[in-house]
Amino acid sequence: MSKKGRLAVIAGGIALGVLPMAFAHAAKPIKIGITAELGTIPGKAIANGAILAADQINAKGGVNGRKIKLIIEDDHLSTTDAIRSFQRMVKQDHAVAVVGTFVSEVALALEPWAARLHEPYLITGAAANELSEYVHADYKQRQYIFHAYLPAAYLAQAVCDASKQTLVDQFHMKTAVVMSEDAAWTKPLDAGYDKCLPKVGLKVLDNIRFAPNTSDFTPIYQKIESLHPNVIIAGWAHVGVQPTVQWAEQKVPIALAGINAQAGSSVFWKATNGATEGVITGSTSAPGVAITPKTLPFTDAYQKKFGISPAYTGYSTYDAIYALADAIGRAKSTKPLAIVDALDKTNMIGTQGRLVFQGPKSKFTHALKYGPKYVTGVAFQWQKGVQKCIWPLNLANAKPVFPSFVKLPAKS
Amino acid sequence: MLALQILIDGFAISTLFALGALGFTLIFGVSGVLNLAHGGLLVIAAMIAWYVGTSLGYGADWGALAGLAACVAAALLTYLGVVRPIERSRAIPARERELFVLTATLLWGVMIEEALSYAFTNSPVTVKPLIGGTIDLFGVSTPINELLIAAIAWLAMGGLWLLVNRTRIGKRLLAASINPRGLTLLGFELGTIYLIVWLVYGALAGIAGVLLGSFLGSGSGYIPGLTGSAFTIVVLGGLGSVSGTLIAAYIVGYIETVTAYLISPSLRDVPALILLVVVLYVRPQGLLGRR
């Protein structure tokens, strides 16, 4: 490069760096970092949920007169990238808090940094129990971390509660095989399934864990078929399309329920060419289901702005940004401990239910409270290309219907 | 019963592996290019087939055709835009050209992966099968699509055999693989022959990509794995040897299937890789390799 060219680049760099700073000084926005896997459906929904919440809050005048400014960075599903980006957001951008990631492995890697850098960090999609157990183990040091979603133990409980009132009570199912991908979040999930499924009347015949890069599920389905269970209880997030398609194509005569996180996306019907007909999954919400008065306005606004319906992380991130804005508003400060204290007192209606973080005495410190009065999620089933809510029963807009190849137990 | 299941499932997988790796070995045999963007081309075919067939709703047939066309176009682009400029460049010393081509196709594969991930997200999709439903094959419930895939793959491979052994163009391809200089001296334009072989390669990869996408699904995240398995099969069979590739594909396909059924689906890739290491150790040229 010529000397002149180099000078121009340096001058441009200075101008680019200085001008925004000058403006920033005048407006003094509150910066919030977003870490997400932008190439994935749930990761994109984290960014979208945050953008929507920030736009709405800013349109109403911001927080204590200051606008929210998001710094969205892609962590490419990599812990190294995520940590680097986290440090950059804290040290260079001076983000007052960081929100995001649906990958437990990434969140677990970020937690020590949140504790070390005294940075409030809200996890909005990852589900491992360890995320909040980590806070419980050393509260004083790690109080900056909030698990603004449900730990896997609660997700398992929700699946059991839903299975009891639908599969067991309505279809007299008695046996299940647990089939989960091998990942951090499914270990506590499987432990939860093994404990609570028998309690609701579903005997667990086997627990099959498979590598997330499994390409052909035929051998697994053959094995499950030989056990003759009534239902397969899934624990899938990294996989989804392939096992669903093979279940339908090979006409596996067993109902498919549990958590099939990718099936929560509205594009799943197309991705599987409709093979998802009859699949049940636990999720945060279902289209058209008003869990709280905030749910439907949120999904409508999201659909209008982004042209697709939100994945589960869209709900949790949108709620987390509102909870954060509410906390900063009450604290009238952006100091880490002030934000943490205010977040501890959060008691607000979000799109998923009533949001309350658990205290230091709970095993799942700073995770959302689970239960009918708080957040439970829903179970929905794909029926003719539409996600129909089948649980909780008071919100259900359809009864479960299974494809003709699924053999249902005889009604006794 | 289990044996029959393994036989049927393994046959479908192996045939797909063979078809997927065939183009890869052909392009190496004729033009000496190891195309490390191979997996990228397979996934382009599958993603476009899905996009046109399912997302735009034109149906499985049109989707498959569109995927095939996209893959041929991508193969031509790979040759004209990535490989040929390096081969013709005077700035690169002749003895380093192979390495440059190798690196360029590797980077090209990464670019395809990122572009597909940007355009379609990295969530996998499945290509709509040309025929749905299952049939009972000696007591094993088998998707009709699986049998159709094997039939189409064998037709494509038979077509390639006819092209190489029974047509003038094929004979030139063969000659180019044996002695390119001699062919040039006889007055044949090597550039045209390479263009033809890349066209044939694009068609083979397109068919393989669409079929793979309907059997195992597809997505940008699949690219490194697909390139890797084609590479394993081709090295095992002997670089540039078509019959070696076919044999290696069936060996790998059946080893993987047997492992998945009898040991654990999570370990299905492991034995084939061990075999590859052993073969490289005792017979570095591969099963039927000539160099």
Under 8 Å CB-to-CB from B269, ≥6 apart: which residues?
B256
For A33-55, write each residue's pLDDT tens digit: 999 988 888 899 999 999 999 99
Query: What is the reported pLDDT for A3?
Result: 53
As a CATH number, domain A3-149+292-351 is: 3.40.50.2300
Q: Which residue has the tokens 């893959």?
A: B71
Does residue A329 carry a pLDDT above 80? yes
Length of chain A: 412
Q: Mean pLDDT over residues A281-302, rounded? A: 91
For B78-100, write each residue's pLDDT tens digit: 999 999 999 888 898 888 888 99
Tell me the C-alpha distance between A326 and A334, whole Å.
Answer: 12
Does residue A8 carry a pLDDT above 60? no
Per cent of chain A over pLDDT 90 is 77
Burial class (CB in 10 A: 0-12, 13-18, 19+), A260: buried
DSSP output for chain B = -HHHHHHHHHHHHHHHHHHHHHHHHHHHHHH----TTHHHHHHHHHHHHHIIIIIS---HHHHHHHHHHHHHHHHHHIIIIIIHHHHH-SSS-GGGHHHHHHHHHHHHHHHHHHHHHHHH-S--B-PPPSS--EEEETTEEEEHHHHHHHHHHHHHHHHHHHHHHHSHHHHHHHHHHH-HHHHHHTT--HHHHHHHHHHHHHHHHHHHHHHHHHHT-B-GGGHHHHHHHHHHHHHHH-TT-HHHHHHHHHHHHHHHHHIIIII-GGGTTHHHHHHHHHHHHH-TT-SS---
Report the residue of chain B nearest A276, measured CA to CA. B126
Does residue B285 carry a pLDDT above 80? yes
Give B35 or B260, the one with higher predicted confidence. Answer: B35
Query: What is the reported pLDDT for A77?
Result: 86
Average pLDDT taken over every residue of chain A: 90
Helices (H), A200-238: 218-227
Query: What is the reported pLDDT for A21?
Result: 46
Tell me the C-alpha distance between B275 and B281, whole Å.
Answer: 10
Give B169 or A111, the one with higher predicted confidence. Answer: A111
Does residue A57 carry a pLDDT above 80? yes
Q: Which residue has the tokens 């094929």?
A: B170
Does residue A12 carry a pLDDT above 80? no
Contact call for B123 and A270, based on CB within 8 A: no
Residue B141 sits at the chain A interface (C-beta within 8 Å) = yes
In this complex, which of A41, A213, A251 lies closest to B121 when CB atoms are compared?
A41
**Contact assessment for residue A77 and residue A37, using Cβ atoms and an 8 Å cutoff:** yes
DSSP output for A190-207 = HHHHHHHHHHTT-EEEEE
**Contact assessment for residue B21 and residue B199, using Cβ atoms and an 8 Å cutoff:** no
Interface of B with A in 40-59 (CB under 8 A): 50, 54-55
Tell me the one-letter amino acid at B81: G
ipTM: 0.72
Q: How far is A12 from chain B (nearest CA, A)?
A: 29
Residue B139 sits at the chain A interface (C-beta within 8 Å) = no
Q: Which two tokens stand for residue B119?
A: 């355009």
Q: Mean pLDDT over residues A251-268, rounded? A: 90
Q: Which of A72-81, B129-138, B213-222, B270-279 has the lowest mean pLDDT?
A: B129-138
Query: What is the reported pLDDT for A353?
Result: 94
Under 8 Å CB-to-CB from B239, ≥6 apart: which residues?
B25, B28, B29, B285, B286, B289, B291
Query: What is the reported pLDDT for A62?
Result: 94
CA-CA-CA-CA torsion sign (A273, A278, A279, A280): positive
Per cent of chain A over pLDDT 70 is 93
Residue B228 sits at the chain A interface (C-beta within 8 Å) = no
For A374-406, write each residue's pLDDT tens digit: 999 899 999 999 999 999 999 999 999 999 999
In this complex, which of B2, B124, B145 lies closest to A241 when CB atoms are compared?
B124
Contact call for A216 and B268, based on CB within 8 A: yes
Does residue B271 carry a pLDDT above 90? no
Per cent of chain B over pLDDT 90 is 33
Report the residue of chain B nearest A272, measured CA to CA. B126
Q: Which two tokens stand for residue B130?
A: 């040309």
Q: Mean pLDDT over residues B248-276, rounded? A: 87
Q: Which two tokens stand for residue B201?
A: 């390669």
Tell me the C-alpha distance between A54 and A41, whole Å.
Answer: 20
Q: Which residue has the tokens 């999720």?
A: A283
Q: Mean pLDDT over residues B19-30, rounded? A: 88
**Where do the domains of chain B lie?**
18-222
Q: Mean pLDDT over residues A203-229, rounded? A: 90
Contact call for B216 and A271, based on CB within 8 A: no
Which three-class secondary structure string do you get for A9-50?
Answer: HHHHHHHHHHHHHHHHHHHCCEEEEEEECCCCHHHHHHHHHH
Whether CATH 3.40.640.10 fits A153-285+377-391: no
CA-CA-CA-CA torsion sign (A6, A8, A11, A13): negative
Pairing of strands A386-391, A378-383: antiparallel
Nearest of A291, A49, A276, A272 to residue A158 by alpha carbon: A291
Burial class (CB in 10 A: 0-12, 13-18, 19+), B287: middle
In the structure, what pLDDT confidence band is assigned to residue A411 with cuts at 50, 70 and 90?
A: low
A-B contacts (CB, under 8 Å): 87
Query: What is the reported pLDDT for A18?
Result: 47
Does residue B154 carry a pLDDT above 50? yes
Q: Mean pLDDT over residues A73-84, rounded? A: 92
- Write phi, then psi, for A128 (nearest 5 degrees): -60, 140
Which chain A residues are closer than 8 Å to B55 by Cβ?
Answer: 270
**Where do the domains of chain A lie?**
3-149+292-351, 153-285+377-391
**Contact assessment for residue B70 and residue B84, using Cβ atoms and an 8 Å cutoff:** no
Contact call for B126 and A217, based on CB within 8 A: no
In the structure, what pLDDT confidence band is assigned to residue A22 with cuts at 50, 70 and 90?
A: very low
**Contact assessment for residue A230 and residue A384, using Cβ atoms and an 8 Å cutoff:** no
**Contact assessment for residue B195 and residue B176, using Cβ atoms and an 8 Å cutoff:** no
Contact call for A39 and B121, based on CB within 8 A: yes
Does residue A11 carry a pLDDT above 60? no
Tell me the C-alpha distance between B70 and B58, whole Å.
Answer: 16
In the structure, what pLDDT confidence band is assigned to residue A20 with cuts at 50, 70 and 90?
A: very low
Nearest of A209, A197, A204, A213 to residue A176 by alpha carbon: A204
Which chain A residues are closer than 8 Å to B5 by Cβ?
Answer: 218, 222
Q: How far is A51 from chain B (nearest CA, A)?
A: 19
- Mutation target to probe the B interface, by most B beta carbons within 10 A, among A40, A213, A273 is A273
Q: Output the CA angle A143-A146-A152, nearest 5 degrees.
A: 125
Under 8 Å CB-to-CB from B272, ≥6 apart: which residues?
B232, B236, B251, B252, B255, B256
Average pLDDT taken over every residue of chain B: 88
Contact call for B123 and A217, based on CB within 8 A: no
